[in-house]
Structure 1
Amino acid sequence: MASIRGSGSRSGEVVDSRIRTADIPDVRVHFSSRFTIILTCLGSVVGTGNIWRFPRVVANNSQDEGGLVFLMVWVLFLLFWSIPMLLIEYSTGRYTQHGVIDSFRQLMSEKFAWCGGWIMLVNFMIASYYSVVLGWCFYYFIHSCANSLPDNAEDSRRIFREYAEDSYWPVLTHAVAILLAGLSIAKGVRTIEKVSMLLVPCFILLILFTFVWSLTRDHADYGITYLFTPHWESFAEPRVWVDALSQNAFDTGAGMGIMIIYSSYMTRANGSVRYATLLPSLNNLVSLIAGMTVFSTVFSTLIASRPYMTQQQILEILQDSGPGSTGLTFIWIPVLFQTVGTFGRALAIMYFLCLSFAGLTSLISNMEQAAVTFDDFGLPRKFSMPLTVALVYSAGLMSALNINILTNQDFVWGFALVISGMMLQGMVIYYGVSNFRTIVVNDYGLNDWKLPKIWEYVIKFIAPIEAVILIVWWAIDLISDETQPGVDQWYEFGRETFMITIVQWLAVLLIALVPNMLVYWIRHRGTAGEKALLLTSASTSDEFDTTASSNRKSQASQSLEIRM
């Protein structure tokens, strides 16, 4: 077996680059077909982030003239962040056939397993509040089926407030979301495939139907024109760049480690380069379609029902974040659909059903990552699944009970994906970027596109520079922000402040780092003791041999003198 030292590895540390699944019996369950790979991976990333989060983020980063600049930056980060990161994830999982933590252990070393722990925990925290939002989607689907739609924003806000803030229903709907996702991962990839085969085509058809309907509306062109009109000064806004990257990572799942899990169910014949290029592009196309649907619907409906409204007033409705950033989806969409008449209620039902299906397939992938982590530590799936369900439910309980906590969690962990992306870059640089491209991607894959050398420069230079600049920019922007309610100084705690983010990041970092360092120290302390004992024994043996040899020489000399 050949071993190659990664260009980033330290002297004396050899990174094994050949002893992998290619050299051991294949015992891991794999996807049953390429079609199920596409549906499952697409379902994992197309979720409420595309349909609920993306239009809101676009609106909040759009000026009076339009939102094209944000879309341009968003596409730029797709090419130079999300796709390169997902190439790492798809190739790593396919190669190691293990979860995130074990993949870092294999491609780096045992002492860097905490990096995988960070990625897993960030994804876990996202899943804990994401399931609460999914519960909202379930509730609104049922509410739309059983009740008439509100005809004004005040009534719509009252409906949301009575459900999300003045009752314990979110605790129940949060539990329903977690249980459905838990049942879907009960038997690993086999049940995940079946659920994805059912849900993904359904919500794709629903998205396409509402998209086509929205374009046929009178005045829909006003919304599309606004969306694709540039406001060039927006390039100088730090928030545009930060939100474009974090939304892209949230959209595509880049940095979450989810694709390391799903690609571990792939074989060498499944092209990691092909999937990592096409699927995030298709995912972002779905986001763009969702954005066009919302903008055309909002503009056409408001212009028809309130012709006196200006473009600025319509934009304010799009930017109305509402409680828990729910304004556009859960406050205004029901009101807008109500103006359509009877068919509007059917549209609302389809819209929230689509959100529910898309959100469920994404939550399934988030929970599968935690379950696979337990699997890698030797826990059978019949135990890891209920444990994952219990942990995710417990972690999300505060978000279900307090909407301000949910808003905080979305703010904190959305941008943490940038840190996760940097850890993936560090893994590849440690292993050796050229070695990774050649061995893990090109040589290991069969019938796949060849990963070009330019990818090496993106991973070594462009992506790390992007991350560092954006983190610094993000920190300066937050520290200098004086608009936070109840916060006078940057070091004070608030719902969306620099300090609350750093404290939570440090807490998760310590949870990942400390156990890893303790285990590494205990194991290598024992190894060092054994080596010292062996060296002492060898030294004692050598001294004994030397003494015995000297005695034999002395006796021989004395014998010779006697003979003479």
Structure 2
Amino acid sequence: MTDDEARTAREEWGTRFGFLMAMVGAMVGSGNIWRLPYITGENGGGGFLLVYLFLLYLIAVPGLMAETMLGRYTGRGVIGSFRSILGEGRWEGFGLVVLIVNIALMSYYAPVVGWILYYIGHSLLGTFFQPGFAAQQLWTAFAASPVLTLGTHTLAVALIGGVLLFGIRDGIERTVKWMFPALVIALLAVAIRSLTLSGATAGLAFLFTPDWNSVTRPSTWITALGQALFSTGLGWGIAVTYGSYLRKHDDVALGGGLFTAVGNTSIGLLALFAVFPAVFAFGLEPAAGSNLTFITLVQVFPKMAGGPIWAILFFLGFFFAAFTSGLAITEVGVTTVQEETRLSRKQSVLGVSLAIWLLGLPSAYSAEFLGLMDFMFGNWGLPVATLAIIVVVGWKMGPGWLLTPEWVRLTELNRNSDIYVGRWWSLIVQYLIPPIMLAIMVYFVVSNIGQQPIETAGGVVLVGIILVASLVIMSATRQRGASQTLGGD
């Protein structure tokens, strides 16, 4: 089958609205509703929020445009996209790096989706409102039960795989077209109720009164950039994969960049409005850390009029956000495996889901292991994957080395776009994002080598092994394929 025939047989998004919902749903997940509130609380509120929003639009938006455009241009998943630009050989192994990082990230993201399912169940049962309810004990009992943690992890992977079996249009698009609007409605309802509480203005003051001292701290900028990458999915291969199902005339700049960022910002702000006014209204600790949602916030609902309704709405919205992101993350592996092997869509979904389930068992069993995985792949794996994608777009894509970014911008990014993207995009993609990714990795090595030497060394070594192994595997695979071809001739 020729490339043209393969493209003709390939699925495409049914509607522009479906693609937009899928992109925003992919990028809006637990990073916005679980991670952003507690990261904001730990880093001083308004000052951190300003830095985060600045970096979101400076780095993430151009990066997402580049990643989505790469997928549309090649019409392939992550490995196929790298092969289309770099040619066959060891360098397409960078695509395998992105795939490995993606599956590793999903292996500890799936247990978090399981946590949410567990709390949805308790919100429906009214557990938070029973006499003598203790939020800390509920979480501790759950975390200490392998049956519950492994069971919810299994259920999360099964639900995601079940939707993906139906494909892009009938599975992902059909699901996100009702899940994302439902997410917005649920979060909006909870945010309005939270803002009407007595004392809610203290939460707003915390969010929108910048602590200028925090703005001057390098750690604030590094943390904010990490949050921007985590919450938008830049470098996860999602935008490449979703972009590969676009038609050639579809708008990348708007759908793959600006609209996604605006949606990401809007949901993030709704989550902050839902959490902090209520936290301050009832005198709880805003810097409670990762427990803010699962321990601190559940103590708020019993104190609110109509609390059972708000609890159900909040955790349903939380689940919709996490689930649509889980679909996108897993689809990266499904698309790539289906393209690179002779497996059918169904077989690819089952294979990738099984791999994620098996790799996720340690993270589901131990929150400490989950934290270690996030430390290693979030701090090193994700920047490496982002760097690989951005370098391909900024330095290798196009007819000439010097003209590469401008040719890409003029002929691909601005094609049929509702917004015109200027030369600033080329400069950011080529000269700003790559050194920033390198700086993130160096910063975490320097800042953590004394405090967490084993984890730091392990992260560096692990990512190095993945990088080298991927290049060797792809080189050996191509050489074996070439030998078989010559032997057959």
When normalised by structure 2's length, the TM-score is: 0.91
Cα pair distance change 1:241/1:525, threshold 3 Å: farther
Instruction: Report SS of the residue matched to 1:318.
Output: coil
Partner of residue 422, structure 1: 387
**Partner AA of 2:96 in structure 1:** G
Match of 2:153 among 167, 174, 180: 174
**More displaced 10-residue stretch of structure 1: 378-387 or 412-421:** 412-421
Partner of 1:238: 218
Deviation at residue 440 of structure 1 after TM alignment: 7.2
Aligned: 1:35 with 2:44: no
Question: How many Å separate the matches in 1 of 2:402 and 2:339?
Answer: 26
Structure 2: which 5+ residue stretches go unaligned? none
The answer to whether structure 1 residue 399 and structure 2 residue 363 are counterparts is: yes
Question: Corresponding residue for 1:458?
Answer: 428
Equivalent residues of 1:238, 1:474 under 8 A apart? no
Specify the alignment match of 1:438 in structure 2. Answer: 407
Aligned pair in 2 of structure 1 residues 525, 451: CA closer, same or farther (>3 Å)?
farther
Matches within 5 A, 1:91-102: 91-102=69-80
Q: State the shift of 1:282 in Å.
A: 1.8
Task: Give the unaligned 5+ runs of structure 1.
Answer: 1-18, 303-313, 485-489, 531-564
Number of residue pairs aligned between Structure 1 and Structure 2: 477
- Rg larger in 1 or in 2? 1
Alignment partner of 2:252 out of 263, 272, 278: 272
Q: Can you list the C-alpha shifts for 1:75-100, whole angstroms capped at 9, x where unaligned?
A: 22212221121111111111111101
The offset of 1:151, in angstroms, is 8.2
Q: Distance in 1 between matches of 2:147 and 2:321?
A: 24
The 2-side partners of 1:225 and 1:433 are apart by 49
Which residue does 2:327 correspond to in 1?
A: 364
Structure 1, residues 330-374: CA drift from partner, whole Å, max 9, x if none?
A: 101111111115x11221111111111111111011111111011
Q: How far apart, in 2, do the equivalents of 1:45 and 1:477 lie?
A: 28
Query: What residue in structure 2 maps to residue 559 of structure 1?
Result: none
Higher RCO (Cα < 8 Å, 6 or more apart): 2
Tell me: CA distance 1:120–1:217, structure 2 relative to 1, closer, same or farther (3 Å).
Answer: same
Amino acid at match of 1:282: G
Kindly report the root-mean-square deviation, in angstroms, between the aligned alpha carbons of the 2 structures: 2.5
Query: Aligned runs of 1:509-548 on 2, under 5 Å?
Result: 509-523=467-481
Q: CA deviation at 1:228?
A: 1.6
Give CA-to-partner distance per residue, 1:221-259, whole Å, 9 cap, x none: 111111122222223433212211111111111111101
Query: Is the Cα contact below 8 Å between 2:7 and 2:75 reproduced in 1?
Result: no
Name the structure with the higher helix share: 2
Question: Aligned to 1:113, what secondary structure does the other structure show?
Answer: helix
Percent of residue pairs bearing the same amino acid type: 28
Tell me which of 179, 188, 192 is aligned to 1:212.
Answer: 192
Task: Tell whether the 8 Å contact from 1:254 to 1:421 is kept in structure 2 after alignment.
Answer: yes
Please give the per-residue CA displacement for 1:433-489, whole angstroms capped at 9, x wherever unaligned: 7435435763586421343222111122122232233322222111243xx5xxxxx
Q: Report how far residue 213 of structure 1 moved.
A: 1.4
In structure 2, the CA distance between the partners of 1:125 and 1:443, relative to structure 1 (3 Å rule), is: closer
Q: Determine the C-alpha separation between the residues in 2 that align with 1:410 and 1:456.
A: 31
On the 8 A contact 1:150/1:334 being kept in 2, the answer is: no
Does the Cα contact within 8 Å between 2:252 and 2:413 map onto a contact in 1? Answer: no
75, 84, 90: which one pairs with 2:53?
75
AA in 1 matched with 2:396: Y
Residue of structure 2 equivalent to 1:351 = 314
User: Structure 1 residue 336 and structure 2 residue 314: aligned?
Assistant: no
Which of 437, 440, 445 pairs up with 1:470? 440
Counterpart position of 1:282: 263
Q: Verify the 8 A CA contact 1:108 1:430 in the aligned structure 2.
A: yes
Partner AA of 2:105 in structure 1: I
1:511 Cα shift?
4.1
| SS of match in other structure, 1:26 | helix
Structure 2 Cα separation of the partners of residues 524 and 165 of structure 1: 52
